[in-house]
Amino acid sequence: MDAIDRRIVRALQLDGRMKIGDLAERVGLSATPCARRLERLQTDGVITGYGARVDPRKIGLPVTIFVSVELGAQGADVIKNFERAVSAFEEVMECYLMTGSRDFLLRVVAADLDAFDAFLEHRLMKVKGVRNMRSNFALRALVRRDVLPAM
């Protein structure tokens, strides 16, 4: 990635609905070379998609919970099984494989404590291989960024 690619990525992070002509002008290219670069950035997987940013509170999901999960074993098949299972849970917004005392960290959203309890009981606790879980409820977000730092 060169400086122009970085400017394209940065501009689209700030406004993913930008028209190609406006994007080209912002990064200092004409429309055709800008479109080619944009296509390459998408093909190479640098730009992975486009979407609307939604405030979860405004759609009835005001509770954010971070769940640390410890597995009973760390074999590749156990990890793959866990990954497959949590990928199917729409409440799980993010899942990270971690170092340290916990194997995974999940960011989960829920309507309320009852909904989170149901998620734990009927979904997460039923995933084969889960040994232990710890939940931490977020009181409020102090910093939330959707734009990566300047490169």
Options 1.10.3720.10, 1.10.10.10, 1.10.1660.10, 3.30.1330.90; CATH of 3-43: 1.10.10.10
CATH 1.10.10.10 domain extents, the chain: 3-43
CA 129/CA 73 separation, integer angstroms? 7
Helix axes of 3-14 and 20-27: crossing angle, nearest 10 degrees: 130
Chain segment 13-40, per-residue pLDDT in tens: 999 999 999 999 999 999 999 999 999 9
For the chain, the average pLDDT equals 95
Residue pair 52/61 in contact (Cβ under 8 Å)? The answer is no
Given a cut of 90, is residue 77 above it in pLDDT? yes
Burial class (CB within 10 angstroms; exposed 0-12, middle 13-18, buried 19+) of 150? exposed
In the chain, ranges of CATH 3.30.70.920 domains: 56-137
Over the range 105-118, which residues count as b (16 or more CB within 10 Å of their CB) and which as e?
bbebbbeeeebbee
Thinking of the domain 56-137, which architecture would CATH place it in? 2-Layer Sandwich (3.30)
pLDDT at residue 66 in the model? 98
Phi then psi for 67, rounded to 5 degrees? Answer: -115, 120
Give per-residue pLDDT as tens, 86-95: 999 999 999 9
Residue range 40-59, pLDDT digits in tens: 999 999 999 999 999 999 99
Mean pLDDT of 106-129: 97
Query: What is the DSSP secondary-structure string of 77-90?
Result: HHHHHHHHHHHT-T
- Residue 143's pLDDT is 94
Name the 3-class secondary structure at 51: coil
